[in-house]
Amino acid sequence: MTIYKIIKNKALPSFCSSNIDVLSSILFFCNLKKLPCLIECTSNQVNQHGGYTGYTAKTFFREIQGISKKINFNKKMLFLGGDHLGPLPWKNKTKKIALKNSIKLIDDFLKYDYCKIHVDTSIKCKDDQNLDNEIIFYRTKEILNNKNIKKKIKNKFIIIGTEVPLSGSGDSNKIIVTKKSQIKEEVLKFKRILKSLKFKSKKFGLVIEPGMKYMHSSIKKPNLKDFRQKKILSKKYNIIYEAHSTDYQSIQILKKLVNNNFKFLKVGPELTFNYARSLFYMHQIEKKFFKIQNSNLNKQILRSMIRDNRYWKGYYNPKNKKIFLNSKLDRMRYYFSYSLIKKSIKILQKNINNLKIKDNLLLLKKDLRKEFNEYHNYGLKNFEILKLIFISKTLKKYYNACGYKTN
């Protein structure tokens, strides 16, 4: 099974998360339902310097392999990808340093068999006066022409382009919907690059912006009126589209994207947002039974975010503490790797797993109780079950939109 074969007939969700609790739930669900699973990480999350998660391409690969081995996941159904691979983590460096690091980054991803590679050189570096399409494509060509990369990338699925703006900017006024003329220009230029580099495969994907966005508590739907023409363009040039920042969109919108030849639907913050909802739910239960020795999870997260504002500064109003834990932008996800929060989650996990089943069901709706019992029959502990119930809401929506059955 290859990604090429899968997307011939169906689309595929792309799960962009490096949170191991989230990924373990995704892998269990996909294994249970016999679904293909595409996991991607961004260059900010995972790179040769550890990213903000501490993972390199090698250690992230081994982590995923370790989880999948434990549950006997079918290797042929598991795919890894790299997102925004390029100068992004080094945008404050000179273009020479950023490009050198980008080549090393992509080479590392290819070395560990990441089969879907998004080459994104659209990020301005420290010494860039301006950044037009000519420069972007020149840098893309330079990366692909690297001896090691050229040799390894030929059988991979290449994605080019970027969304405008990058996800999580928090400013809906900056959304620029990709025009048909832009699609044509990017496709023809990239086809020339592939031809000049003597790449056998001419199949690739293009990230385009359909005009959707999520804010703190609201969601901007895309304008799909002119997508019929864009679909015709994709068929004409034998390419597929990839949609980023599809988080929180309805299943109806996701289906419309799929019908317009969007073969990859990226989702990330919605997964960690629902993961956080599961933790907060469990913390409510925990406080009822462990009044003294509980995790104090909410307080620990808030404390960590207030002490270190680098991941939410410019996104949240510091006076509005409620938004820290409830914003759909989910800047909280950057703090789950902090030692204090990891320790709190471990305490929460221990307490929840020590409770009787009926106690964990206290606040669950009737339909979710049935789901709890179903997962319990597979030998999962309380913490894993409740986490999976919340995260699987997103998984079911995306797989159903892509044409898969999840019953």
> Hey, which bits of 86-192 come out as E strands?
116-119, 157-160
Q: What confidence score (pLDDT) does residue 169 get?
A: 42
Nearest to 162 by CA among 216, 209, 97: 209
- Convert the pLDDT of each residue in 327-355 to its tens digit: 999 999 999 999 999 999 999 999 999 99
pLDDT, average across residues 235-253 = 95
Three-state SS string over 322-357 comes to HHHHHCCCCHHHHHCCCHHHHHHHHHHHHHHHCCCH
Q: What confidence score (pLDDT) does residue 155 get?
A: 86
Q: What confidence score (pLDDT) does residue 202 get?
A: 62
What type of residue sits at position 312? Answer: W
Q: Is 316 exposed, middle or buried (0-12, 13-18, 19+ CB in 10 A)?
A: buried
Residues contacting 168, CB < 8 A, separation 6+ = 245, 269, 315, 329, 331
CB 270 within 8 A of CB 248: yes
Per domain, the residue ranges of the chain are 3-268, 272-401
Query: CATH topology for 272-401?
Result: GI Alpha 1, domain 2-like (1.10.400)
**pLDDT band for position 406 (cuts 50, 70, 90):** very high
Q: What confidence score (pLDDT) does residue 401 get?
A: 98
Class of the CATH domain delimited by 3-268: alpha beta
Give CA 205 to chain center in angstroms. 17
Distances (CA, A) of 262 to 20, 115, 266, 320, 344: 27, 18, 10, 37, 40
- Convert the pLDDT of each residue in 36-77 to its tens digit: 999 999 999 999 999 989 999 999 999 999 999 999 999 999
Q: What confidence score (pLDDT) does residue 172 get?
A: 44
Q: What confidence score (pLDDT) does residue 168 get?
A: 44
**pLDDT band for position 198 (cuts 50, 70, 90):** confident
**pLDDT band for position 174 (cuts 50, 70, 90):** low
Q: Which two tokens stand for residue 109?
A: 């991803």
User: What is the DSSP secondary structure assignment for residue 72, as one 8-state letter?
Assistant: T
- Convert the pLDDT of each residue in 99-130 to its tens digit: 999 999 999 999 999 999 999 999 999 999 99
Sort residue 79 into left (φ over 0), alpha (ψ -120 to 50) or beta.
Answer: beta
- Convert the pLDDT of each residue in 376-385 to its tens digit: 999 999 999 9
- Convert the pLDDT of each residue in 269-278 to its tens digit: 999 999 999 9
pLDDT, average across residues 279-304 = 94
**pLDDT band for position 201 (cuts 50, 70, 90):** low
How many DSSP H helices and E strands does the chain contain? Answer: 16, 10
Q: What confidence score (pLDDT) does residue 163 get?
A: 66
Instruction: Using DSSP, state whether 205 is helix, strand or coil.
Output: strand
Q: Assess whether pLDDT exceeds 60 at residue 371.
A: yes
Q: Assess whether pLDDT exceeds 70 at residue 399.
A: yes
